Amino acid sequence: HVDLRQKFITKPVYNALGKVMPAIGDTEREAIEAGTTWFETDLFSGRPDWEKFAHIQFSTLTDEEQAFLDNEV
């Protein structure tokens, strides 16, 4: 069933949409590749999991990035 669905529905629809949809821009591509939206989804759901937020591991800035923020911004 999956093969038939892919062959007769999914692939033709995907190909048709691919021809009419605008190309993805650099900004959109970077946003998509940056990660997931679980944070926003959780936050705006009205019932965020604060325990999950407490365990977020943030990346650290390089010395060059920190210097830019300290001196240029």
The predicted model scores a pTM of 0.33
Residue 25, CA distances (Å) to 22, 32, 65 in order = 9, 11, 25
pLDDT tens-digit map of 4-38: 888 899 899 888 888 888 888 888 888 777 767 77
pLDDT band at residue 43 under the 50/70/90 scheme: confident
Considering only CA atoms, give the Rg of the chain. 21
Is residue 61 within 8 A of residue 69, CB to CB? The reply is yes
| pLDDT at 14 (0 to 100) | 85
